[in-house]
Amino acid sequence: MTSGHNISSAVDGDHLRAFVQRVEAVEATIKEEQEARKEIYQEAKSAGFDPKTIRKLVAMRRQDVAKRQEEEEILNLYLAALGME
Amino acid sequence: MTSGHNISSAVDGDHLRAFVQRVEAVEATIKEEQEARKEIYQEAKSAGFDPKTIRKLVAMRRQDVAKRQEEEEILNLYLAALGME
Amino acid sequence: MTSGHNISSAVDGDHLRAFVQRVEAVEATIKEEQEARKEIYQEAKSAGFDPKTIRKLVAMRRQDVAKRQEEEEILNLYLAALGME
Amino acid sequence: MTSGHNISSAVDGDHLRAFVQRVEAVEATIKEEQEARKEIYQEAKSAGFDPKTIRKLVAMRRQDVAKRQEEEEILNLYLAALGME
DNA sequence: TCAGATAAAATCGCGC
DNA sequence: GCGCGATTTTATCTGA
């Protein structure tokens, strides 16, 4: 018995630890890339661009065209219902 | 005139485009890493581990780090408040 | 016809308006409470305390609670994983 | 000396504690109201409305009209610069 | 005005 | 497919 438990189904600690570390490694990379993106936005701001608008642009390019149309349609329906058109 | 607008002081399209593309590049990397993480969880599941438990473990370790940082920060605040910095 | 549209199956404006107003009502309350909190911090500052330190304290106490919950959850996960639930 | 410190400028613990508790009290209220709002959205969904669209409506009503127009104008400039118009 | 904190909103993963 | 919780993204706010 390796570590004080007598249940054969006990957890393989080393194996588990390896998975946890691999997850933490990729999450570290993700965090780095997120900071890199933040710096790009700061750089754009220094260059005189509005970061908020750039975010919208990126989001628009991401967004599926059909989906966008559908959302706009629903929005217009609601606006009409409220007399805000 | 380059592209249908006659105000020379309008937005510098090439410069803007460069920023947008850089953002999209790092976001592509982020997406890749997120998928890598997803695969690790699948792999762990195949190895007989409960992904939910691993997520909790990772979250706890994250919290430990955050808590330690928080405590260190408040200690510094106290020291500063007492003029001991 | 009540407001310029002739499709009877359009959105029920009154019903929608009621939801919008209920949301805006609770958001007004939230805003009041947020201002109340802000005043408490100002009061503390007037009393000679460093608001930043108090914020850290509150954050730490929040984290303590979160951490305790997290630990309890993972304990339950482990128990379940070992068939001891 | 009340609690083991010999610095006259030491913190008044009871006073500090009172502030912390007052902050935590209003934050508890805020959390309650936030849940109330969530329930309203759920109710709206049950009534057949799209919560996401209602959120947009509420946001639009919050947002200053002039500001909204200005943001849209910047966005259009950028779109033109990218040839996305 | 600026970054850092806070809150709001959207998205994703998972179990039912 | 839906709700629910967790993560991520976006927006707002505050203090320096």
**A37 beta carbon to strand E: under 7 Å:** no
Count of C-beta atoms within a 10 Å radius of residue D67: 9
Tens-digit pLDDT profile for residues D22-60: 999 999 999 999 999 999 999 999 999 999 999 999 999
B33 CA, F10 C1': Å apart: 21
Tens-digit pLDDT profile for residues C29-84: 999 999 999 999 999 999 999 999 999 999 999 988 888 888 888 888 888 877 77
CB B16 within 8 A of CB D78: yes
Would an 8 Å CB–CB cutoff place C75 in contact with chain A?
no
A3 CA, F15 C1': Å apart: 53
**Phi, psi angle pair for A11, to nearest 5°:** -75, 140
First and final CA of chain B: distance in angstroms? 60
Confidence of residue D12 (pLDDT cuts 50, 70, 90): confident
Q: Minimal CA–CA distance to B70: which of A3, A19, A14, C62?
A: C62
- AA letter at B50: D
CA distance D59 to B43: 42
Distance from the Cα of residue D41 to its chain's centroid: 16
Q: Minimal CA–CA distance to D52: which of A24, A70, A22?
A: A70
Print the SS3 string covering D6-41.
CCCCCCCHHHHHHHHHHHHHHHHHHHHHHHHHHHHH
Q: What is the pTM of this model?
A: 0.83
CB A83 within 8 A of CB C16: no
Between helix D13-46 and helix C51-81 the angle, nearest 10°, is: 60
Residues of chain B contacting residue C78, judged by C-beta atoms under 8 Å apart: 53
> Which 8-state DSSP code applies to residue A83?
T
